[in-house]
A and B are shown apart, each in its own frame.
Chain A
């Protein structure tokens, strides 16, 4: 339903996408996971014909979006990250405007607005001006705008950023309903649990290309054994963590022993196979070396581990690095025509 083939895009000297390819099957809820700056928004802008790629091809519902952008746009509902809403209009007026831009008849527009207003619970406030809406209300109205013309493909760019938990759950619910009705949905997110809970398939994006792709289950199973997080103190020192790291590296049936600075120098490692023997040994050795244990947690591999495995850093580390190197002025310029 959606095909991106070998997309390249540069902004001046900065490369945003480096040969990105993506294939979303019909009726699939597809997650695009990656830290800020990985190229998610750029990829979605190219998909929605807002931005031309330097190289590569884009297909939506079988239409070549670069050759026939208007045809592709008609198939597409786009819910952008920055919610652009006219504060002076009421929600209903904005939806009516949207209906005219998609050439719906007045009657069809009215019916769709009524249906969406019931689906998204907007009846009470739809005739109030958008300026008075809360963040959750704006997001729902924005989603309604994207759905008004009943598109075959719905694209959402980080739809739950800044939403309260209730609004987020409501949004997830609506997305799942839409998927059941056969809408193909592509959503980007830097929330692991969101993609894990919602997506049928996902691609992990890092520095402008896909580094892993599959169903959440497949990706996690590929990683094999259980993940262990050991914290010797709530906030351990680097030296202490390194000492423990050495102890663990000496054990049998253990691999990928890393110090996680973002978690107060916790130590992450992977148990090969059953691995209960290694844990018993670990307990003994730690006691012997008089190292305290604050917590010891064991879990199946998560999507974060998938990300860690592929990039060598956790998503949170990548996120923090991205935030500090962010150039909001340049980003605004990219978004502006």
Chain B
């Protein structure tokens, strides 16, 4: 599809654009710190809230903290990816995007690719920090294979949410609107998932919402990995519409992110041409 020189040029563009984002992060690390601090507070406060709940009350047989860990890890990656569109939005607003668009970029998807690279690394670093914190609080650590499951699952979720956020960054008129959408989407998606409580504790309608929420599809395989019970054909979610195995959850995430990237393409093509 591309000549070797094209691949070299695209990687030159993408690396240079990502380097800019990482330099920004290094010199202004507040995004990184806040993205760790917020879930850490959730982990400590929510963990403490139900610290005296009887062992075995929550599925998996461990403490509430052990149950909560997987939810907060997914929430961390999700929040980071939800912010993916912000740098792009600021570039649109301040005219920096125009600087990129007058350059003879081999592919303007380099701009999108750089954002995806950046936000994926950022959210993985934040999630690993939260995993370390959860381990420090005694909420467990997935083994070597488990770690691969966690990272793989997070990557799928991050890809989907990044696509969504980038689309919003090009579709909305300004950063105020984008931040408003992020603000409104963030917490309800957390509560309407199995991050904080299992479906069996929820009223029917909320159970349905949680069972349709993509966050749930990421939380349950990770939870299984933390409990050492992960297998692709093991049932991880008892949804109102039937039982889902880990493989099915991951497949749903894969379809979701692929579908999102395909469906935002026309928008990106229009905005970048």
Which residues on A are within 8 Å of B, measured CB to CB? 48-50, 70-71, 73-74, 76, 78, 80, 82, 84-86, 88-89, 93, 96-98, 100-103, 129, 145, 333, 335-337
Contact = CB atoms under 8 A, between A and B. Distances in A.
A1 B79 CA distance: 50
B95 A103 contact: no
B15 interface: yes
B20 A76 contact: no
Contact of A101 (B16, B93, B173, B272): B16
26 contacts: A49-B101, A49-B102, A50-B102, A74-B104, A76-B102, A80-B95, A85-B96, A86-B96, A88-B23, A89-B23, A89-B24, A97-B16, A97-B17, A100-B13, A100-B16, A101-B16, A101-B100, A101-B103, A101-B104, A102-B103, A103-B104, A145-B99, A333-B173, A335-B98, A337-B98, A337-B271
Given A86-B24, A103-B12, A337-B271, A48 B102 contact: yes
Contact of B98 (A71, A76, A80, A85): A80
Contact of B20 (A48, A50, A97): A97
Contacts of A337: 92, 97-98, 101, 170, 271-272
Nearest to A129: B27
B254 interface: no
Contacts of A85: 96
A89 B104 contact: no
B2 interface: no
Contacts of A71: 104
A237 to B, nearest CB: 46
Contacts of A80: 95, 98-99
Interface in B164-208: 170, 173
Contacts of B96: 84-86
A93 B23 contact: yes
B265 interface: no
Contacts of B52: none
Contacts of A129: 27
B98 A103 contact: no
A137 B254 CA distance: 48
A52 to B, nearest CB: 9
B16 A335 contact: no
Contacts of B23: 88-89, 93
Q: How many interface residues does chain B have, given as a range?
A: 20 to 34
B95 A335 contact: yes
Contacts of B27: 88, 129
When A and B form their complex, which 7 residue pairs have the shortest distance between CB atoms, in order from nearest? A100-B16, A84-B95, A101-B103, A73-B104, A74-B104, A84-B96, A78-B102
A73 B13 CA distance: 15
A93 B26 CA distance: 14
A336 B93 contact: yes
Contacts, number: 77
Given A97-B19, A100-B13, A50 B103 contact: no
B236 to A, nearest CB: 42
Given A80-B95, A89-B20, A337-B271, 20 more contacts: A48-B102, A50-B98, A50-B102, A70-B106, A73-B102, A85-B96, A88-B27, A88-B28, A89-B23, A89-B24, A96-B16, A97-B16, A98-B103, A100-B13, A100-B15, A101-B100, A101-B105, A103-B9, A336-B93, A337-B92
Contacts of B94: 84
Contacts of A86: 20, 24, 96
Given A50-B101, A76-B102, A336 B92 contact: yes
Nearest to A45: B98
A93 B24 CA distance: 11
Contacts of B17: 97, 101
A202 B19 CA distance: 42
Interface string B200-244: 000000000000000000000000000000000000000000000
Nearest to A332: B93
Contacts of B97: 337
B84 to A, nearest CB: 17
B103 to A, nearest CB: 4
Contacts of B104: 70-71, 73-74, 101-103
A291 B23 CA distance: 70
Interface string B4-24: 000001001101110110011
B69 to A, nearest CB: 34
Task: Give the residue among B17, B103, B170, B271 with the most A Cβ atoms within 10 A.
Answer: B103
Nearest to A106: B12
Contacts of B105: 70, 101
Nearest to B99: A84
Contacts of B19: 97
A152 B24 CA distance: 32
Interface in B99-133: 99-106
Contacts of A89: 20, 23-24
B134 to A, nearest CB: 32
